[in-house]
Structure 1
Amino acid sequence: MKHNARNLTNQEFFYGHKACGGCGESLAVRLTMKILGDRTFAALPAGCMSAVSFIYPNMAFTTNAIITPFASTGAVAAGMSAGLRALGIEDTHTVGFAGDGGTADIGLQALSGAIDRNDDIIYICNDNEAYMNTGIQKSGLTPYGTKTTTSPAGDNLPGSVTMKKNMFEIVAAHDIAYAATASVGYLDDLMAKIEKCKNTKGTSYLHIFAPCPTGWGHESNITIDLAKQAVDSGLIYLAEYENGEFKLNKNPKEFASVEDYLKVQGRFKHLKDSDIEVIKAHRDKKWAKMRKNWL
């Protein structure tokens, strides 16, 4: 089924949360829940979405949802799926929503185990490129040059000195049933991939790029534009892995301006021209590899 504004349900399964204005992550969760439907069981570790959704006496999820230990999203989701099967409860979906730190760092072992067992779960990484809930600390998915509270920028450092961990290819290396990258800047592509996850038997993984106005230092009304610019500038790519093969969903002939994407974000305002050239060089090397091996 192809989802769009005309046929997407008006029913809300994630509503009334306390997230910041312009939160890309909350949009990703809302759309995911609309597509998965009311027979969905969700597991969320410590992070922004659990913090803004489980506030007594209100709960943003209208379906069954639970907060997991930080490192255990994959394991808890797998246990929920197994429990539903043991109870004979059918026609359900089990989804884990974790942030970049809770996926690429703290939760990697549990995710890897779930994929290895091919547990029947959907795992979604909402990537806002830092540990935002605990004060904007660097994660394994924080890009080069980012100023965070644990990767300060100054005369001797550009902020983060490492590139983003390649979670999509790490997950694909498990020969997972289905994996994809997406961005809240391209909602049609995002919703189509959520639908694919919904219809995948076994473990599926979706990595969603989701800007954070608070942590990134940008105006809340440009979240979607920024998420689109990240893709158009080549810093984020849209791809899928299924049946043992990679596929690029968008292969631009020319990249949009990296500078225009970076300069509106407070976390990058300190960057020198030489730092931006490092970012571009890494992008070009990555795209040369993908175009050679995936097309």
Structure 2
Amino acid sequence: MITRNIRKKPIIVLATGCLEVTTTQYPYTHFNCPVIHGAFENAPAIASGVYRALKAQGLERDIDIIVLAGDGATFDIGFQSLSGMFERGEEVCYICLDNEAYMNTGIQRSGATPLYALTTTTPSDTVMRGKMEERKQVALIFGMHNIRYVATATLGYHVDFISKVKKALQMKPSFLHVLTPCPTGWGFDSEDTIKISKLAVETCFFPLFEIEDGYLKLTQKITKKTPVRDFLKLQKRFSHLSDEEIDKIQELVDRNYNYLLEFEKAGKVFYQFS
């Protein structure tokens, strides 16, 4: 869905991750365009270099520079270079494919892993109950970086997803945060991928919104929430939870969604691109 909506000549920069290892078996790639793979931490720095090289030749308006990275490269290891790229205002579209852990290297926790989720580095025992920290709200963080467009998306709402890809390519610098459920890491049957994607939105566990020129707008407003329990019970990574822990997650989900409603109501609460 991403590459299908590219209208200019693209150059794609890949961070190390699940997408990269499955699409770039040397010397081949699955892409019909130039692709650069660096490391976990430096995809935004590479994209910055590509942008500046094109700008020096007067070609930056003719080519779409797109970074595709996972949550580990975005939330943690590459956060510094990504923040710097946005702070400099370089016209790059950055797309984070978020499966909420380091799935490529063995299902270790990341800054995107939700509260209480089981990973190989956050087990459940008498002391730990899975990951004990909340996940980072990176879309809001990058919304405060004075970039033109920020949005969240997921596979279950493909029309919304395609619309946001088009906007992200047209309004650079841009950041698109895409929830990508992982059957292996989350513990569910692959045939339930779309169902889980939709439940993430319907429970408000992963709200869909966009920030355009400083204004936040919920693109899928949920008037009657599905209980978050319905989303959690389909995944083995949450199979150990007590009723009290599920209630805690519900409380956090409600709080975070109410924050978004307040941001939307307040008008321009994020920086305006200048």
| Class of the TM-score when normalised by the shorter of the 2 chains | over 0.9
Q: Secondary structure at the match of 1:59?
A: coil
Preserved CA contact (<8 Å) 1:130 1:138:
yes
What pairs with 1:1-295 in structure 2 (closer than 5 Å)? 31-37=1-7, 39-89=9-59, 90-200=61-171, 202-295=172-265
Aligned length, in residue pairs: 264
Q: Secondary structure at the match of 1:114?
A: helix
RMSD: 1.3
Cα distance change of structure 1 residues 48 and 38 upon mapping to structure 2, 3 Å threshold: farther
Which stretches of structure 1, 4 residues or more, deviate above 6 A after TM superposition? Answer: none
Q: Secondary structure at the match of 1:276?
A: helix
Q: Secondary structure at the match of 2:44?
A: helix
Q: Secondary structure at the match of 1:159?
A: coil
Displacement of 1:250 after TM fit? 1.7
Preserved CA contact (<8 Å) 1:38 1:63:
no
User: Can you give the 5+ residue segments of structure 1 that lack an aligned partner in the other structure?
Assistant: 1-30
Preserved CA contact (<8 Å) 1:158 1:275:
no
Q: Secondary structure at the match of 1:123?
A: strand
% same residue: 38
Q: Which residue identity does 1:245 align to in structure 2?
A: Y
Task: Report the more deviating stretch, 56-65 or 191-200.
Answer: 56-65
Q: 1:72 and 1:56 mapped to 2: Cα distance? A: 20
Q: 1:46 and 1:83 mapped to 2: Cα distance? A: 23
Task: Report the more deviating stretch, 180-189 or 246-255.
Answer: 246-255
User: Can you give the 5+ residue segments of structure 2 that lack an aligned partner in the other structure?
Assistant: 266-274
Displacement of 1:135 after TM fit? 0.3
| TM-score, normalised by the number of residues in structure 2 | 0.93
Provide Cα deviations, 1:236-257, integer angstroms capped at 9, x if missing partner: 0111112212111122111113
| TM-score, normalised by the number of residues in structure 1 | 0.86
Displacement of 1:292 after TM fit? 2.2
